[in-house]
Amino acid sequence: MEYEFIRSRRKTIGISVKDDGSVILRAPLRCPRKEAEQFLYEKQDWVKKVQARIKAAGAYKPDPFTEEELKVIKQRAHRLIPPMVRDIAGEMGADYNRIFLRTQKSRWGSCSSKRNLNFNCLLVLLPEDLQRYVIVHELCHLKEMNHSKRFWAEVAKYRPFYREEKKRLNAEGHKLLLRLG
């Protein structure tokens, strides 16, 4: 399998598949290349599945959001997402630092070691149950900063149908992310 290899200050090995189907393998600065390649080998079924999905959707090129549309989406996100995060965090007893809203091409959310939460502005275009899933997912990272069994057990406490929501997010959300160009 062909891939681009990038070393960076990241802490983990990661794989991404670009819109054209090309593969990027990222690794920490001191990670042996063989270890990164072994990780890619173990994830090759996932890579092929993503490449097949990209190929199948090849003709699907949605119109990108206009600047005006993005402006309205961002305003709506700033009005709706922080209160929703506060409410859900209160229900979960989760304590976070700050909330940041961004327009990201590949992520719905992330959580930093400083307990900051980052959310994609496009989240407001998703159904409310998927918005809640993403928020719960990131809040659970405040307890488990990984995707271990313990992490998913924590998510399941608040989103018992998280597996279905995750699948829907991948399907419905992908179309929105493509509109960012």
CATH classification of the domain holding 168: 3.30.2010.10
Query: Which of 29, 56, 83 represents a domain boundary (last residue)?
Result: 56
**In-domain check, residue 19:** yes
Residue-level pLDDT at 59 = 53
**In-domain check, residue 61:** no
Q: Which of 19-23, 32-36, 78-82, 117-121 has the lowest mean pLDDT?
A: 19-23
How many structural domains are present in the chain? Answer: 2
Which domain, by its residues, includes 9? 4-56
Same domain, 136 and 97: yes
**Is the separation of the CB atoms in 131 and 157 below 8 Å?**
no
Same domain, 78 and 50: no
Q: How confident is the model at residue 21 (pLDDT cuts 50, 70, 90)?
A: confident
Residue-level pLDDT at 58 = 65
**Is the separation of the CB atoms in 99 and 76 below 8 Å?**
no
**In-domain check, residue 62:** no
**In-domain check, residue 134:** yes
Same domain, 125 and 173: yes
Q: How confident is the model at residue 60 (pLDDT cuts 50, 70, 90)?
A: low
Q: How confident is the model over 7-14, as a mean pLDDT?
A: 92
Same domain, 43 and 87: no
Residue 149 makes CB contacts below 8 A (sequence gap 6+) with: none
Closest CA to 162 of 138, 141, 136: 136
- Give the span between the Cα atoms of 133 and 129, in whole angstroms: 6
